[in-house]
């Protein structure tokens, strides 16, 4: 809508004409904005009279809490003079607060007692001055080795850019990390009327009891704040022990032979152990196989039996060797170190005896044959 207001002046005691008038003009007099925005007008003060006019400039009807400025060039002004037949342009800025009611507001730009320009500002939505912290999934379930990851949204519903410090009131032993744009942060800057996506990683202690734990999260600065309550539901703890029925972790073997070792896998935690797999770190040219190769499930407080068959290298020298056996699930692992003594094969012992006997026999034969000559 293009609107201007013609203000008639009384000159030399007679009524003015259209040519003898003062006009306040702006092309847009009815504007719709959101809370927290500023409206900027360019207003012309046109002097069609035959005299210099000097007008005091002000706003009437401005609601409480709203602010404005009137500038000519780079200067804030409250009064403007215009030569006869000339015009001057001013910049009028009206700042709409964030906390404002939805509706239309009627304001007048006044040029002293000479002229007025009606302006209408329509606020399109109900305004607030607050910060919001929210998440679509505040409750996550896992175990003691899980890292709970929450996607949170921090909204700045104020009319200014805000720097928020983010903190957590986690229980003792817990660790909370905040990430923004992939970087670990302790504070986040959010533009006015904008959102920031925050990743919150919550790591519970490994030996914590099963239960539901609340973690309050705070985003705050000097002017606004918001809280978010997260819940981490711990299903149970994981614990596993790998040993033998007697607890003895040593045995002996003959070079080139194999020995079967009975193992016991105990579930010492409060959660099920699923998919227990086995592996071994062996001496060079040794081999270890397991039966069964995998245990599907061990209930809390229960144990399972597995047999490890250790085969020593044929050329193993007599002495002590170490084999590390590991039982592992995606959540936890347990290791047992076995000391295995290698003994020389009895075959080699008997062969040594036979070689010695043969040597003695040869000496005896040579002595009988050539000894009397």
By the 8 A CB rule, do 199 and 178 touch? yes
Q: How far apart are CA 313 and CA 82, in angstroms?
A: 108
Q: How far apart are CA 71 and CA 93, in angstroms?
A: 8
Q: How many residues does the chain have?
A: 373
Site of tokens 């002595």: 367
Which tokens go with 169? Answer: 């009131």
Contacts of 6 (CB under 8 A, 6+ apart): 18, 21, 22, 23, 115
| pTM higher than 0.85 | no
How far is residue 162 from each of residues 13, 155, 191, 200, measured CA to CA in Å?
A: 58, 10, 6, 20
Q: Per-residue confidence of the chain (373 residues) as pLDDT tens digits?
A: 444 555 544 333 333 444 469 999 999 999 999 887 899 999 999 999 999 999 999 999 999 989 999 999 999 999 999 999 999 999 999 998 878 889 999 999 999 999 999 999 999 887 777 889 999 999 999 887 789 999 999 999 876 789 999 999 999 999 999 999 999 999 999 998 789 999 999 999 877 888 899 999 999 988 789 999 999 998 877 889 999 999 898 888 888 888 899 999 999 888 889 999 999 998 988 999 999 999 999 998 899 999 999 998 888 888 889 999 999 998 889 999 989 888 865 555 555 667 776 677 776 666 666 665 5
Q: How far apart are CA 354 and CA 171, in angstroms?
A: 75
3-class secondary-structure state, position 315: coil
Q: What pLDDT is recorded for position 290? A: 94
Q: What is the DSSP string of 236-260?
A: ----EEEE-SS---EEEEETT-EEE
Q: How far apart are CA 86 and CA 69, in angstroms?
A: 23
Which tokens go with 254? Answer: 């003959």
Site of tokens 């020298």: 317
Question: CA torsion angle for 305, 311, 317, 323 (degrees, to 10)?
Answer: -40
Nearest to 9 by CA among 1, 42, 17, 38: 17
Nearest to 279 by CA among 313, 213, 327, 214: 327
Q: How far apart are CA 58 and CA 118, in angstroms?
A: 12
Burial 22-51 (b: 16+ CB within 10 A, else e): bbbbbeebeeebebbbebebebbbbbbbee
By the 8 A CB rule, do 9 and 20 touch? yes
By the 8 A CB rule, do 253 and 341 touch? yes
Q: What is the DSSP string of 18-46?
A: SSSEEEEEES--EEEE-TT-EEEEEEEEE
Q: Residue 170, by phi and psi: left (phi above 0), alpha (psi -120 to 50) or beta?
A: beta
Which tokens go with 120? Answer: 């209408």
Question: CA torsion angle for 31, 35, 41, 45 (degrees, to 10)?
Answer: 90
Strands 162-168 and 187-190: antiparallel
Strands 53-60 and 21-26: unpaired
Give the strand order in the sheet containing 225-234.
139-142, 225-234, 211-220, 162-168, 187-190
Q: How far apart are CA 34 and CA 127, in angstroms?
A: 8
Site of tokens 């909370």: 176
| DSSP type of residue 170 | P
Q: What pLDDT is recorded for position 239? A: 86
């Amino acid at each position: 809508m293009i609107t201007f207001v013609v203000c008639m002046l009384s000159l030399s005691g007679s009524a003015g004409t259209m040519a003898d008038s003062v006009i306040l003009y702006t092309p847009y007099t009815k504007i719709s904005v959101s809370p927290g925005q500023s409206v900027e007008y360019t207003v012309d003060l046109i002097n069609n009279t035959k005299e210099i006019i000097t007008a005091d400039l002000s706003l009437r009807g401005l609601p409480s809490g709203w602010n404005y400025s009137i500038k000519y060039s780079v200067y804030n002004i409250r009064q403007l003079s215009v030569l006869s037949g000339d015009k001057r342009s001013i910049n009028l800025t009206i700042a709409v607060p964030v906390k404002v009611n939805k509706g239309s507001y009627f304001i007048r730009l006044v040029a002293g007692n000479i002229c007025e320009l009606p302006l209408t500002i329509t606020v399109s939505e109900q305004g607030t001055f607050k910060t919001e912290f929210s998440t679509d999934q505040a409750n996550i379930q896992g175990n003691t080795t899980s890292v709970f990851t929450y996607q949170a949204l921090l909204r700045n519903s104020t009319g200014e850019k805000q720097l928020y410090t983010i903190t957590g009131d986690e229980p003792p032993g817990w660790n909370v990390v905040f990430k923004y744009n992939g970087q670990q942060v302790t504070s986040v800057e959010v533009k006015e009327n904008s959102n920031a996506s925050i990743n919150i990683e919550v790591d519970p202690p490994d030996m914590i009891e099963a239960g539901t734990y609340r973690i309050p999260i705070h985003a705050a600065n000097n002017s606004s704040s918001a809280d978010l309550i997260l819940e981490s539901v711990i299903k149970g703890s994981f614990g596993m022990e790998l040993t033998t029925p007697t607890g003895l972790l040593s045995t002996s073997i003959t070079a080139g032979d194999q020995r079967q070792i009975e193992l016991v896998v105990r579930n010492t935690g409060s959660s099920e152990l699923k998919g227990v797999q086995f592996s071994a770190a062996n001496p060079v040219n040794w081999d270890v196989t397991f039966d069964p190769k995998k245990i599907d499930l061990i209930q809390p407080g229960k144990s399972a039996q597995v047999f490890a068959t250790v085969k020593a290298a044929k050329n193993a020298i007599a002495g002590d060797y170490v084999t590390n056996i590991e039982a592992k699930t995606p959540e936890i692992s347990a290791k047992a170190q076995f000391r295995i003594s290698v003994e020389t094969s009895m075959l080699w012992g008997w062969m040594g005896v036979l070689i010695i006997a043969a040597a003695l026999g040869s000496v005896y034969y040579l002595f009988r044959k050539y000894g009397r000559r």
